[in-house]
Structures are given as C-alpha cells and as structure tokens.
C-alpha cells in the first residue's frame, strides 16, 4: 500500500481498477510483467521492431521513387536508429533485467533519447527529437495494436491515472465509466479540476510522480475529499473507504428530500440558488437537485472538446438544449473564458510568461472578433427561447465592457437584418473577478443589468497568488479579510444601485461561507449541481439575523485563519454533519 | 595481420552538422570495418558504429571530433571516415 498526498479538486471517493494514460494519449496497460512472461515480451518487442522496420523500408522505397533518392535517405536514417544495437540493447535489458513490459521499455528508452536531443543547443538537432517520438509512436502502435485505447473509448468502470490530462482529454471522459482520476501535476483552479467537478468525478491532482509505481489493473482509491490517492490499499483501508462511500450515498439520499423545497431561510427570506454547469447534459443534475436556474453556464467545453472551431450551429444547439431543459428558469451564459494556450484552433500566440495576466478570457474574445461574433450570434438567437442573461468574464476596465456590449448590439442588429425575431432586451452583466472592477464598480453598475462575483480569480488577483504553485497555495484563501472586503463592497454598492448581485465562485460551495455571505447581504448564489442540496440545507437552517451577526463579527477579524476557525465553529452549531 | 590503433582529428564542415543523414552515412561506413571505432567530442566518447550514439554528440558545424579505430583495418577506417567528415558528407 502506498498513500500519495495531492490537491483535492473534486469531492467524493472512488475505488476501482486503474487505467494508466501516458502523455501522448496512449494507454500503456502495464508497466511490469511477470518473470515467466519476459520471453514473450522479448518476442513481442522483436516483432514490433521488425514490423516498424518493414514499414519504414516500404516508405523509403515509395518516397525514393516519387521524389528521388535524397528524400528517401531520411528513412534510411530512421531505420538505422531503430536497428541501432545500442537502442535494441537498452530496450532488451529493461525487459530482461527489470521485467518491464515491452511498451514501457520502448516508451521510456525512446523518450530518453528524445529528451537528449531536445536539450541540445542546436535548433536543428533539437528538432530531431521528433524522430524519436515518431519511432515511439510507431512501435507502441504495433505493440498495442487493437488494445490501444483512447480516453473516450474506456468502456469498463476504471480510475484514470495520468501525468496530466488536458482539458480536452478530460472533456472526452465518459462519466459512466470513469470512477475518478488522479494526475501527477495540475492545480486546483485548473480547467481540468473544474471539468472534473462538473462531471462529478472525484479527482486529486498534483501528487508528484507516481506512475512508475502503478500498473494497469491495480486497485486504487481516489479520495477527492482529503486529496489522497491510495495505491494498492490493504484490506483495512479498503473496508474503511467502502464504508465512507456508503455514508456518502446515505447523506445524498437524505438531502434529496430537499429537492422540491425552496432555498429559504428560517425567517422566510428566499435565496436564489442556481447551479454552475459546464456541459449541456448537466441540466438533468440541476433539475434533479432542485436548482433555481443556471447561475453560470461555462461555454468553454465547445472549444475544448473539438479539434475545429465550433460553428454557430454547434453553439446554438448546446445553448438551446440548456434553455429549453430549464423550463423558463433563468440561464446565465458566460462568454468564452480561456487562455490563448488552451485554444488549439487559433493561430499560435507568442509564449506568455504570465498567462493569467495575459491574453485570456474577454481579452482573447475582443482580439478575435470573428470567433467572438460566432458565439454572440448563437447566444442572441438562443435568448429567444427563454430567460437568458449574458455575462462577460474578466472585465478589468470600462472600455472592455463597452467594446463587448457594442459588439453584442452590432451582432443583434445583424441578426435582425437576417430576419431573426429577437427579444428586445437581453440582460448583460459582468463577472467581478479583477479587483479593478470592484474599485470602479459604481461606474460599471450604471452600465450593467447584473453582476456576478467570481471568487476564484478575485482571490488570485487580490492576493497575488497562483493556487497551483504549491509554495504559495496556502496564501490562497477565500476567507482572507482583504477578499472579504472586496466581496462586501461589491454587494453593498450593487444594493445601492439596485443591481442584482450573484456569487458563483468556488467559495459558495463551502457550507461554512454561506452564513457569512448571506449576512453580508448576498441573496443569490450559484454552486455546482452536486452542492445544491447541501447549500440549500444550510440556507434553510439559518436566519438572516443570525447571519448578520456572524458577518459583523467576521469583518472585524484580521486573518484568514481566524475567519475559518470562527466560521467552522458556527457551522458546527448550525449543521453539525456538514462541518469539516 | 596485427591489430593497430589509428586516430585522427577532424572538424565538422557541413552547415547542418552531424544530423541524421550524415550520422547515418558515418555509421554505415564504420560498420563495414572490423575495427572498433569510437568518436570523441571533448570528454565524451561514443561508439562510431551506432547512429544514436553519434547523434547524441550533437556535433554542429565547426565542432572538432577525434575518430579512433582499433583493429586490423584501423588505418583504412580512419582514412575513409575522416574523408567523409571533411568532405562535408557530400552535401
């Protein structure tokens, strides 16, 4: 048994067999083979080498005939590399001496060579690393044959382990078969983490290297509540987790009776409790859990799941499905909120030193108007189907808001010219997630119909902390008094202007912050569908008077630590089962 | 026939250095000899018959290498291989 500590990014516990996915999306089924199987592995390896060599020779002949000898010569070099005794000996000895599987030995050895080349100073030489990745891919292709599985094809329940899962890989996971996942790298506010939460799959990231310690088929526990990954658990641990899994289920059953009850405080104040979603299919979860609407619909998945830029119709279909499924309950759409690095379809931007301070989110949209216009057209068209709000993310200046609004109005006029029948008015708002927006809020409030506080970014920009950097992650606290002042100021100013304010960050997912937020005057929250019952229960267990007393006290505290300790204590009194 | 040792220092003259195709040529020719052949750059010595090992030297234009052969045909091996390098691999 081995226990790894990581960052919990999506709650719950999953127990199951492992599927290991390597960087290229290949699934390497096992890293080790039994002593008896060594001879078979050597045969498989030899066979793969011969087979790739034959392919290369065929290509060489074909290219030489088509383009001439000198073009075929590069294949001769590949062939020589493949048949190089140094390489063959290295792979062979990994299998015979360390009992590695042929796949693993091939991958490890060729990547080592690729790395040597990548590190060479010379640009031309560095490019040769591709030759090795190429050979690796070909060899793995032969070795894995039909057993090669891509993420989307996982068809039996399993826990996915990987060095890193890209957002698009995560988006392709089928939650029916993926019980949970753990990755060696990654941070808590990474897109992957948010997607995992959306899919309600327990997940732990940033555990450090462990893939060499597991093989496909091993049993693993992913504890998304405590950020632990248990490799090959002993019987006692396994039993303990199975019991915990049982408790999770019974608490969920207990909370499910709340579905048709309103999120209303003991003294009769109605709280709007919306849900945050990522994928259209999550509307089912929203309805099952009794959410008042969609408080945040992240639209990124359309860009991430596909290799090509989504068309207006792709957007429209997804949006229409969500709006129609919500039966006249409000849906708040957030326009594209991604960094340029995440969008394969755009021309490559220059490498950014600080992507979170770079071209992302609304900045990206305003620089790629063609891309933005497609999304806005679909949004405006879909707004005819039900109550819709449009929200621009990461607004830092008034100019950005005005540009975005202007584009929206322009697009609306285009659509009317094209003959579409549209609602006269579309409600427009901003995410308050850059401190400058809070400082300038009185100006913004005159130009928007609503605002929504995005705590994840607000905390990061207010405290200058990158949460995925483990050396400073402890500074990232929603309960930091400076963050709380920004939130309080936003709520008070919005109330003054009569503009509705919502909070849709991760902060509202934690039950202990709910009394504080209500006490600060917030009446609208949006949380992941899985958290709706829990948060509703908290709302129904408190009175506004009680919350205001809590807020009054908290706003005098001087550190995140004191705030957290006090709020945990309060929650224990209000709703003991939820206090962690 | 007696075993002999021959060494010769050469400079990479072709523009792209000892990349895949030249390294391939080098190893191919080296493999035609019985002698053990090594190539040394600075402190690093590698098997002259292994294309991978030659490539890992990362020898770019202007780099000095020492070709060393030990065996019955060492003289001819060093002569042919150094000629190949100095001719810029006929590029």
Between CA A548 and CA A563 the distance in angstroms is 15
Helices (H), A68-161: 69-83, 85-98, 102-118, 123-127, 129-144
A63 in B contact zone (CB under 8 Å): no
Phi, psi (rounded to 5 degrees) for A9: -120, -15
Cβ contact A474:A485 at 8 Å: no
Q: What is the CA radius of gyration of chain B?
A: 12
> Closest Cα of chain A to B2: distance in Å?
27
| Helix, strand or coil, per DSSP, at residue A290 | coil
Q: Which CATH class is domain A259-578?
A: alpha beta
Assigned fold of A2-27+149-251: Glucose Oxidase; domain 1 (3.50.30)
In chain B, the N- to C-terminal Cα span, in Å, equals 36
Pick B52's closest partner by Cβ from A87, A121, A125.
A87
A360 bridge partner residues: A339
Residues of A carrying an active site annotation = 191, 504
Cβ contact A134:A77 at 8 Å: no
Per-domain residue ranges of chain A: 2-27+149-251, 35-147, 259-578
A36 in B contact zone (CB under 8 Å): no
Q: Which residues of B touch A86 (CB under 8 A)?
A: 47, 50, 52-53
What DSSP string describes B10-79? Answer: EE--STT-S-HHHHHHHHHHHTTSSSEEEEEETTEEEETT-HHHHHHT---TT-EEEEEEEETTHHHHHH
A76 in B contact zone (CB under 8 Å): yes
Chain A and chain B share a number of CB contacts under 8 A equal to 56
A69 in B contact zone (CB under 8 Å): no
Count of domains for chain B: 1
A126 in B contact zone (CB under 8 Å): no
Q: What is the pLDDT of residue B53?
A: 87
Cβ contact A163:A211 at 8 Å: yes
Q: How many residues does chain A have?
A: 580
Pick B51's closest partner by Cβ from A80, A117, A124.
A80
> Closest Cα of chain B to A91: distance in Å?
14
CATH number assigned to the domain covering A35-147: 1.10.274.10
Between CA A386 and CA A369 the distance in angstroms is 26
Q: Which residues of A touch B53 (CB under 8 A)?
A: 84, 86
Q: What is the pLDDT of residue A192?
A: 64
* B29: confidence class by pLDDT, cuts 50, 70, 90: very high
Edge-to-edge strand list for the sheet holding A7-10 = A2-5, A228-231, A219-223, A13-21, A158-162, A178-183, A203-205, A7-10
Between CA A380 and CA A415 the distance in angstroms is 8
What DSSP string describes A534-579? Answer: HHHHHHHH--HHHHHHHHHHHTT--SHHHHHHHHHHHHHHH-GGG-
Q: What is the pLDDT of residue A270?
A: 97
- What tokens appear for A329 in the block? 């309950």
Cβ contact A293:A262 at 8 Å: no
| Helix, strand or coil, per DSSP, at residue A274 | strand
**What is this model's ipTM?**
0.75
* 259-278 in chain A: CB under 8 A from chain B: none
The domain containing residue B65 runs over which residues?
4-90
Q: What is the pLDDT of residue A148?
A: 45
| Tokens 């067999």 -> residue | A17
Instruction: Give the tens place of pLDDT for each residue, A491-537.
Output: 999 999 999 999 998 898 889 999 999 999 999 999 988 889 989 99
Strands A228-231 and A219-223: antiparallel
Q: What is the pLDDT of residue A17?
A: 85
| Tokens 């300038």 -> residue | A440
Pick B24's closest partner by Cβ from A76, A85, A124.
A76
Q: Which residues of chain A have pLDDT under 50?
A: 146, 148
Residues of B carrying an active site annotation = 19
Instruction: Give the tens place of pLDDT for each residue, A148-198.
Output: 455 656 677 889 888 777 655 666 667 778 899 898 887 766 656 766 777
Q: What is the pLDDT of residue A150?
A: 57
Q: What is the CATH number of the domain that holds B54?
A: 3.30.1340.10
Centre a 10 Å sphere on the Cβ of residue A426 and count the other Cβ atoms it contains.
Answer: 18
Pick A131's closest partner by Cβ from B16, B20, B27.
B20
């Amino acid at each position: 048994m081995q226990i790894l500590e990581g960052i919990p990014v999506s709650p719950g516990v999953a127990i199951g067999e492992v599927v290991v996915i390597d960087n290229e999306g290949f699934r390497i089924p096992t890293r080790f083979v039994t002593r008896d199987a060594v001879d078979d592995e050597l045969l498989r390896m030899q066979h793969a080498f011969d087979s790739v060599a034959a392919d290369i020779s065929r290509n060489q002949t074909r290219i030489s005939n088509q383009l001439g000898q000198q073009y075929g010569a590069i294949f001769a070099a590949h062939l020589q590399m493949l048949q190089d005794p140094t390489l063959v000996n290295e792979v062979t000895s990994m299998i015979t001496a360390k009992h590695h599987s042929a796949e693993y030995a091939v991958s490890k050895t060729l990547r080592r060579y690729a790395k040597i080349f990548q590190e060479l100073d010379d640009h031309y030489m560095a490019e040769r690393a591709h030759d090795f990745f190429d050979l690796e891919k070909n060899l793995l292709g032969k070795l894995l044959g039909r057993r090669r599985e891509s993420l989307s094809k996982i068809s039996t329940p399993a826990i996915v382990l990987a060095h890193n899962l890209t957002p698009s890989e995560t988006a392709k996971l089928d939650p029916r078969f993926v019980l949970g996942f753990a990755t060696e790298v990654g941070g808590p506010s990474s897109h992957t983490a948010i997607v995992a939460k959306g899919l309600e799959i327990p997940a732990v990231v940033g555990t450090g290297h462990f893939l060499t310690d597991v093989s496909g088929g091993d049993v693993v526990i992913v504890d998304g509540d405590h950020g632990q990954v248990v490799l090959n658990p002993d019987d006692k641990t396994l039993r303990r987790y199975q019991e915990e899994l049982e408790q999770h289920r019974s608490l969920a059953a207990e909370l499910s009776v709340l579905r048709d009850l309103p999120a209303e405080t003991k003294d009769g104040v109605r709280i709007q409790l919306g849900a945050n979603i990522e994928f259209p299919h999550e509307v089912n979860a929203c309805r099952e859990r009794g959410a008042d609407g969609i408080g945040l619909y992240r639209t990124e998945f359309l860009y991430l799941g596909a290799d090509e830029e989504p068309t207006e119709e792709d957007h429209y279909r997804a949006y229409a499905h969500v709006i129609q499924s919500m039966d006249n309950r409000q849906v708040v759409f957030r326009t594209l909120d991604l960094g340029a690095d995440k969008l394969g379809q755009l021309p490559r931007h220059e490498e950014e030193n600080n992507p979170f301070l770079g071209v992302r989110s609304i900045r990206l949209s305003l620089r790629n108007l063609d891309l933005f216009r497609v999304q806005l057209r679909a949004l405006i068209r879909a707004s005819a189907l039900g109550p819709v709000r449009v929200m621009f993310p990461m607004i830092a200046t008034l100019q950005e808001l005005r540009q975005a609004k202007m584009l929206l109005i322009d697009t609306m006029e285009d659509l009317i010219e094209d003959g579409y029948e549209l609602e006269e008015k579309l409600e427009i708002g901003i995410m308050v997630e850059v401190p400058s927006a809070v400082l300038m809020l009185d100006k913004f409030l005159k130009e928007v119909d609503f605002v929504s506080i995005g705590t994840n970014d607000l905390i990061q920009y207010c405290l200058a902390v990158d949460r995925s950097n483990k050396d400073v992650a402890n500074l990232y606290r929603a309960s930091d008094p400076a963050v709380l002042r920004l939130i309080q100021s936003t709520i008070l100013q919005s109330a003054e202007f009569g503009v509705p304010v919502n909070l849709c960050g991760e902060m509202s997912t934690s039950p202990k912050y709910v009394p504080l937020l209500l006490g600060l005057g917030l009446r609208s929250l949006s949380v992941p569908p899985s958290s709706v019952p829990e948060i509703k229960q908290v709302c129904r267990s408190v009175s506004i008077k009680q919350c205001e007393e809590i807020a009054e006290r908290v706003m005098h505290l001087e550190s995140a630590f004191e705030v957290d300790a006090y709020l945990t204590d309060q929650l224990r009194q209000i709703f003991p089962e939820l206090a962690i | 026939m007696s075993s002999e040792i021959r060494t010769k220092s050469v400079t990479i003259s072709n523009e792209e250095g000892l990349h895949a195709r030249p390294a391939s040529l080098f190893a191919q020719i080296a493999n035609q000899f019985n002698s053990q052949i090594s190539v040394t750059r600075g402190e690093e010595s590698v098997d002259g018959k292994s294309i991978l090992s030659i490539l890992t030297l990362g020898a770019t234009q202007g780099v000095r290498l020492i070709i060393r052969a030990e065996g019955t045909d060492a003289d001819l091996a060093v002569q042919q291989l150094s000629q190949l390098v100095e001719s810029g691999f006929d590029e």
